[in-house]
Structure 1
């Protein structure tokens, strides 16, 4: 079966996911927070297993204009639900409506559900209620500017849930967001990598996954594994191929530090769970004490943002210490994520470039300081 598919991701990361899909040989079309593409069962498995920056992969069942509840009902009912849902399918429907005539989400949800039930009852010749005792097929109806899009989620719990994070601090960065930050840098696995405010270790662990070319979805399960129409052996084939492509022996130079020893213990626990403890050097260290004689490296930091006023002075002190510690590293590129717009002033220099990103609901900027690489010596 061929599907119209869509990958969703945090706003501002569309280009990262697009690049990932192109690397998998997939043609794309981008919209706000969404990247559309086409494919078959293998494409569904491949994108769920390999995409580092996306949230989830959905099948687009249909799209049409809906200005009235009647139009919504008829439009939903006309779609080929029986291609996807078996008679006993459990199909919860989530409703979303933005800038549209139909704005009551509970109504949109209820009418969509009713239309699908009517279609399925007609196809399967049922006069009684549908059992909904079988596998779950999570559906969503989303109406944006009067265009209704109906999707079936193939992922299940979001792709950021890689399965390795057992311990987390108070404001952990999502795994897919951490991976995207790294993919926005000029880092290559043969370069030194430093995460100086590592917290529960997410950025360093994602760097190690990228460095070893380990597919992020290798250890987890997906909703589509229970879909009746999905060719089950395909997923195992994709996972086997991913295992073959991983380079577990590659030497990586990844350093992760934090001022808080408890966080370092937590980060080590997570790295161990990911099977990557040997690939990362963890160290309890204050940013102001960081120094290195290595060249041509990359620093990616997600320091505290100082959202609460009494934290702000402390956080800006940390930014100033970062500026001083990183200043001598002229061949290094530094990428620092924060929602504090006073960052550059505290850090002590203007960024080469800023990029607006949403860390969950928090508007943040990725402040980028590009190094001047020094390639005079032999790169080992």
Structure 2
């Protein structure tokens, strides 16, 4: 258990100094403004083992998501933003990421805004459309509001970041964090505040390019009922290897959440949310994941590549009486020009999005749960 402290305080001078440094540093300027607009439109077919009505009608095919991406740059200052529009049942429209950056030189830059949290294997700890189990507890492709410094050297990479909070949409005095978001954050009666992250990568190997690293995370949990500050912390060790057409990813995470909840409210679970819907997650857990993929080049009309993969995740919960969670996705990605199509067979045990009881599969779970599966086809045109 990582030691708990009672209070974290944020100094506005940190953000002010960073902004002044960004605006006053002198580097070679870009001659003219640049702007790139892109996006994607995706549709989804799925057939789930736990939905009898859906099985009777042979599955469902419908709208998934439309997004717009914008990238702009001028005089070493640049912008990256992505807005997504989902169906109302999945949270509707929201910003996935949106930040302003500055290039100090060819290997050092800073991001300010809604930027990706430097933790674990990035950009994704997975190859499939569903991500890996780490995504569903806020530790894969997470984005928060803050400032991040990045160094990308030939042998070493590191990132240091401070996040004031998760993306805030309501700005009330004691208002709960909105569940309408892309990445999973703590919601309910606790709010993420004043979070520090550090990530270090050592790169080696030529034929077998390897990335060995570790990540640290520590921040506060402000409780709206008690008005007291708890804390949360996480550590990850991770390794990624690419050899020819093969890629492998292995990761271990240990996480601890210590909320200062009101009397009578259990501290064994926290509330997390994304896509408009909250659920419970075990406060303390270990997580293990292993992902592997193989690319096969083809020349079948517009189809140029097939990527076969298997991504596995295991969540070991520490609270007494909690049942562990598992996830495994086997599938392949078909690349045809700007169209990318995922064919996934996603299986889960005590997994909120793969059968069972949505609310507490990632917390107390169900000892009598059985494996459930979803066959999924996601078709996307990316521009």
Give 1 or 2: higher helix fraction: 1
Q: What is the TM-score when the length of structure 2 is the normalising length?
A: 0.25
Q: What is the TM-score when the length of structure 1 is the normalising length?
A: 0.25
Largest Rg, 1 or 2: 1
